[in-house]
Amino acid sequence: MKVEKQTNCHFCGYLCGLIATVEDGRVVDVRPDPTRYPYDERIMAGCRRWRMNLDVLDGADRVNYPLRRVGERGSGQWERVSWDAALDDIAARLEALRAEHGAATLASMIGGPHTSFWPLHRFMTLFGSPNNMGIGQICWNPRIWMDVITFGWTVEADIRPETGCVFIWGTNPAESDNSLFWRTVLKTGKDETTKLVVIDPRFTRTARAADLWLAPQPGTDCTLALAFLNVIIDEDLYDHAFVDAWCHGFDELAAHVRSYTPEHAAQVCGVKADDIRMAARWFACERPSALVSGRGIDQVGASVAPTHRAICCLRAITGNVDVPGACVLADASDFIQEADLELTLEHADELSSRCLNTAETPLQCYEGYAQVEALTERFGRKLPVRYLTSAHPDLVLRAMETGEPYPVRALIVEATNPLLTYADTHRVYKALMGLDLIVVLEYYLTPTAQLADYVLPAAGAIERPTFQAHGGVGNIAYGGAAACAPYYERRTDYEILRALGLRLGQRDAWPDATFEEAIARTLAPAGMTWEHYCEQGMYFRPPWYMKHEMTDDAMRPKGFATTTGKIELASELLPKLGGARLPQPDEPRALCSDAFIAEHRSRGWQHVKLMTGARKQPYNASMYLNNTAFRAAVPEPVLEMSRRTAEDLELVAGDTVQIASDSGKALFKVATITMADGVVQADYGWWHPEWPWDDREGGMWESNINCLTSCALDQTEPLIGTWSYNAIDCMIKKTDETLSWEELG
């Protein structure tokens, strides 16, 4: 008998609604469900990923049973074992390592979008380790930290028909998500009454919709933002009433930006001074104005915090704060907040005493979190702890390598492939090879999984219920039910981590046997049942605006959750952490030492600016390269550059080039596109899922841009620890080598 079930795609973070046809427990068909999020048939019509949901359920390359390593680490030799045998042995080995080295001996690496973060964070909390790693320092965390320090909480763009101007800065939603947001941007670009400005070194699909495209040199965004502020203040375009009532430090900011003229920024950024003036005037005068930023800013290393601070100031002095059509300060969630699901705050003192970050990144640590939470808790809001205290990879890798300040000997990897997606692949590889225990929760035998002691088969898209709540900083969640029970012996990540927790004495902290029950418990305070959530596909309450003007019982305005109760253009908190009151750009990271540059130049190499990681459909990071249709459409990794840059480098489209830094090298095909001159952009995440592991280790060394990158703390952003992917450098030279991607053709 066939039945239809509402479920959700899980091949990006937006969890679009699907209807699955199920027969005898097996899914035989899927199609979009326009009655549930994202409520727009055109979105899924333009997406190629959702069609994978049916094929991957029974894919020949899926991991279906627990696997235990039987050869040397990295030998690719496995045996199938039972769940009890795997979990019992993992728990026993973790307990033994904890007894020998302390709880901080366990680290974790987590990614997305195909996972739920808080179960792993809860497990790490209860085990006693602060050493959860992720990519937060280069994605999401910098914006969240600077929003909260400036406004008292996070802000989100609130694009509406009345929005007069939209800035899309350092993100390309046409490729990165194909979501409801992109459709909103596309509509905005076609609206003659709304000005759309796209700021990106590459002329992206998003830029094609713009009224004005600005292509700054990578890493100069802070200077550009300060120039916008200069124009708005110099031409008296700022919102006097809002600044006088609700902004702290305006006179300091005005004096600070006086030297950041459009002419100065034009020299630094490579953008026309008149275009800078035009964009600034639009943002100030075509109100309400909204601004959306992305990873292009989050990954500029030392300048990341000042860039986000300058953007916050841009919103503030134009009065585009918590008003319809501009931005909205997110509401705290009605459902259980992420911080309470993690259980981290209850153990914060214990975890803080073992935190590697404290002396190195004074904001991204438990002490920094506590200073910010002291302000936000006045409004009943808790930031997610584990994201914003996540251990810096440089420090955890150092503890793996040297045993200092204590040995990190075990690792749990979930929903990420760090040999492709973490900086400095050579270093990550060596560190992992030396560990005593590696456990990987995965769909496939990725390069990282091939180094594990155990690979545990994770239930994937439409086999598991979903709940996306954006880290608990907003009052929205979406997702729904699984279409079927997990195939073979796969399990949800929640069930795997709970089972380990029960074996390690955490029973009281895991009252819910299934993830469905856990989601139901999470939603209960909001008055929504699990059944209603699955029918609706989301929980959402429209936001309140102008919350700072709401009054207490004594009729005093509520204000902002900052030290002064106002928007802090000049920060009172950051200097206490070693930061600056006002945003100041910093120097880009150097991947290539002077000696390396000189030696390679002597052999005909050239030194160029490098940016990496631009999102491109249909891939996402190192995922979906096993889809043969995708590979046919996008068959090889490319190094993009403008035609002028190619001419300067004596290259043409289709040439094979080798790029290198002190850390390593990689091979790419040249592609010419419209983008800023003097810059090259390298694809990332490329490997050969179809290759046996013993055939060049899955191809991860050939075209892996992270063979060149570094997360070393010496040139990172000093408060958060953000390393650089978008404002770095490399050496480049044409080569006669043949790429393996060509061999396949």
Distance separating alpha carbons of residues 398 and 407, to the nearest angstrom: 9
Question: Exposure of 281 by Cβ count < 10 A (0-12 exposed, 13-18 middle, 19+ buried)?
Answer: middle
- As a whole number, mean pLDDT of residues 10-16 equals 87
Distance separating alpha carbons of residues 637 and 117, to the nearest angstrom: 30
| pLDDT over 70 (residue 745) | no
Q: Write down the residue that tokens 């802000």 correspond to.
A: 155
Distance separating alpha carbons of residues 698 and 692, to the nearest angstrom: 6
Residue 592 tokens read as: 């290539």
Amino acid of residue 102: G
Residue pLDDT, tens place only, 444-464: 999 999 999 999 999 998 999
By mean pLDDT, which of 175-184, 467-476, 488-497 is the weakest? 175-184
Contact between 312 and 150 (Cβ < 8 Å) = yes
Distance separating alpha carbons of residues 475 and 330, to the nearest angstrom: 7
Q: What is the DSSP letter of 103?
A: G
Q: Which pLDDT does position 184 carry in this prediction?
A: 79
Q: Which residues contact 64 (CB under 8 A, 6 or more apart)?
A: 457, 487, 488, 489, 490
Question: Exposure of 212 by Cβ count < 10 A (0-12 exposed, 13-18 middle, 19+ buried)?
Answer: middle
Q: Which residues contact 736 (CB under 8 A, 6 or more apart)?
A: 656
Please state whether 478 falls in left (phi above 0), alpha (psi between -120 and 50) or beta.
beta
- As a whole number, mean pLDDT of residues 631-660 equals 97
pTM of the model: 0.96
Nearest to 620 by CA among 391, 340, 421: 421
| pLDDT over 50 (residue 18) | yes
Residue pLDDT, tens place only, 148-174: 999 999 999 999 999 999 999 999 988
Distance separating alpha carbons of residues 160 and 158, to the nearest angstrom: 6
Residue percentage of the chain with pLDDT more than 90: 85
Strand 195-199 to 476-480 pairing: unpaired
| pLDDT over 80 (residue 178) | no
| pLDDT over 60 (residue 506) | yes
CB-facing half-sphere around the CA of 3: CA atoms within 13 A: 8
Residue pLDDT, tens place only, 347-379: 999 999 999 999 999 999 999 999 999 999 988
Residue bearing the bigger pLDDT, 554 or 540: 540
Nearest to 681 by CA among 323, 218, 245, 95: 218
| Peptide linkage before 583 cis (omega within 30 of 0) | no
Residue pLDDT, tens place only, 588-621: 999 999 999 999 999 999 999 999 988 888 888 8
| pLDDT over 80 (residue 643) | yes
Please state whether 472 falls in left (phi above 0), alpha (psi between -120 and 50) or beta.
left
Residue pLDDT, tens place only, 99-115: 999 999 999 999 876 78
Residue pLDDT, tens place only, 628-641: 999 999 999 999 99
How confident is residue 246, by pLDDT bands cut at 50, 70 and 90? very high
Contact between 188 and 166 (Cβ < 8 Å) = yes
Distance separating alpha carbons of residues 131 and 395, to the nearest angstrom: 9
For 57, 469, 476, the CA distances from 534, given in Å and listed in that order, are 21, 15, 14
Distance separating alpha carbons of residues 135 and 392, to the nearest angstrom: 9
The values of phi and psi at residue 53, to 5°, are: -55, -40
Distance separating alpha carbons of residues 659 and 303, to the nearest angstrom: 25
| pLDDT over 60 (residue 744) | no
Q: Which residues contact 292 (CB under 8 A, 6 or more apart)?
A: 157, 166, 167, 168, 169, 171, 173, 181
| pLDDT over 90 (residue 551) | no
CB atoms under 10 Å from CB of 118, counted, come to: 26
Residue pLDDT, tens place only, 406-424: 999 999 999 999 999 999 9
Residue pLDDT, tens place only, 281-321: 999 999 999 999 998 999 999 999 999 999 999 999 999 99
Q: Write down the residue that tokens 């030279």 correspond to.
A: 733
Q: Which pLDDT does position 12 carry in this prediction?
A: 86
Residue 427 tokens read as: 């270093």
Mean residue pLDDT of the chain comes to 94
- As a whole number, mean pLDDT of residues 193-197 equals 95
State the sign of the Cα–Cα–Cα–Cα dihedral 168, 172, 176, 179.
Answer: positive
Distance separating alpha carbons of residues 182 and 189, to the nearest angstrom: 10
CB-facing half-sphere around the CA of 13: CA atoms within 13 A: 17
Strand 665-672 to 656-660 pairing: antiparallel
